[in-house]
Amino acid sequence: MNLLSGLIAVIFAIKGDITFAAFFALLGIFFDFFDGFFARLLNVSGELGKQLDSLADMVTSGVAPAIIMYKLLESTQDSTLFITVGSWIPVDDKTNYLLPFFGLLLALAAAYRLANFNIDTRQTSSFIGLPTPAMTLVIVSLPLIQTYSNQLFALELIQNKYVLISLTVLLSYLMNANIPLFSLKFKNFGLKDNLIVYIFLLVCILLLVFLQFVAIPLIILIYVILSVIQNVSSKKS
């Protein structure tokens, strides 16, 4: 179901309907979140499921967000100046045509992360680097903000190609960065052992209530920041 949702998201994205693409990518992430639960419930977990999970994620959380970013960058094209090696030249249609391909960097970075995740024994209970579904949540939130949000500042940022390029580079880096991120899974419900998770969930709820889709990229940013703070505190202690 994750893979099927991702394929449908890719089809909508290619056709330019990135809002519907975003919804199907979210649906794929929903199925991805519960696949391990049902595998254990039905006693069918194993190496095959692990590989299928990554292959499905490559479509839903690799190809789909990359094409959505391609379309977002494509929509920012205009007749302004564009930097080339060592000089500034007026943008023509051919130069404009190349810029959106930069969005495909997300798929390359996602492929590397997913392959590395399967052989990294350190990531059994938590993550090192930003998970591909988290990256996808940031990307798919952009067309949803465009369609459903009235936050003018956010809309202006999404329509800025330099912001989109910077976001592409940042997310590609974070997916493969050696940054431990705390797990959202509860081993128990004690406040002491899960304080940072409870703080994070509370912030998530407040942001979603007041900012709706604009909250999604902020939530991922806060997730990374809280993880860095926790890592620094752990090293000091």
Looking at residue 79, what is its pLDDT?
A: 40
Q: How confident is the model at residue 36 (pLDDT cuts 50, 70, 90)?
A: confident
Return the residue matching tokens 């509370």: 202
Looking at residue 96, what is its pLDDT?
A: 66
- Mean of the per-residue pLDDT values of the chain: 87
Please choose, from the candidates 96, 59, 94, the residue with its C-alpha nearest in 3D space to the C-alpha of residue 81.
96
Torsion 180-112-117-37 (CA) sign: positive
Adjacent-strand bridge partners of 82? 89
Looking at residue 107, what is its pLDDT?
A: 98
Looking at residue 81, what is its pLDDT?
A: 40
Residue 82 has pLDDT above 60, yes or no: no
Looking at residue 183, what is its pLDDT?
A: 76
Q: Are 32 and 2 in contact (CB under 8 A)?
A: yes
Distance CA 54, CA 119 (A): 12
Distance CA 12, CA 8 (A): 6
Looking at residue 89, what is its pLDDT?
A: 47
Domain boundaries along the sequence of the chain: 2-78+90-182
- 183: tokens are 């797990």
Q: Which amino acid is at 70?
A: Y
Q: Which amino acid is at 214?
A: V
Q: How confident is the model at residue 163 (pLDDT cuts 50, 70, 90)?
A: very high
State the average pLDDT over residues 202-217.
Answer: 94
Looking at residue 43, what is its pLDDT?
A: 85
Q: Say which CATH architecture domain 2-78+90-182 belongs to.
A: Up-down Bundle (1.20)
Q: Are 21 and 12 in contact (CB under 8 A)?
A: yes
Q: What is the pLDDT of residues 138-153, one digit of tens each?
A: 999 999 999 998 888 9
Looking at residue 165, what is its pLDDT?
A: 96
Distance CA 141, CA 22 (A): 7
Please choose, from the candidates 118, 102, 108, the residue with its C-alpha nearest in 3D space to the C-alpha of residue 48.
118
- 8: tokens are 């449908």
Looking at residue 124, what is its pLDDT?
A: 63
Q: How confident is the model at residue 88 (pLDDT cuts 50, 70, 90)?
A: very low
State the average pLDDT over residues 107-119.
Answer: 93
State the average pLDDT over residues 166-185.
Answer: 91
Looking at residue 186, what is its pLDDT?
A: 59
- The H or E element that residue 42 is part of is none
Distance CA 17, CA 38 (A): 32
Looking at residue 94, what is its pLDDT?
A: 54
Residue 196 has pLDDT above 70, yes or no: yes
Crossing angle, helix 18-41 and helix 64-75, to 10 degrees? Answer: 160
Distance CA 192, CA 190 (A): 6
Please choose, from the candidates 91, 89, 71, the residue with its C-alpha nearest in 3D space to the C-alpha of residue 79.
91
Give the count of beta carbons closer than 10 Å to the beta carbon of residue 96: 17
Q: What is the pLDDT of residues 178-195, one digit of tens each?
A: 999 987 765 666 677 678
High-pLDDT (> 70) share of the chain, %: 87
Q: Name every residue whose Cβ is closer than 8 Å to that of residue 99 and which is 6 or more positions away in sequence.
A: 73, 74, 77, 82, 161
Return the residue matching tokens 């620094």: 232
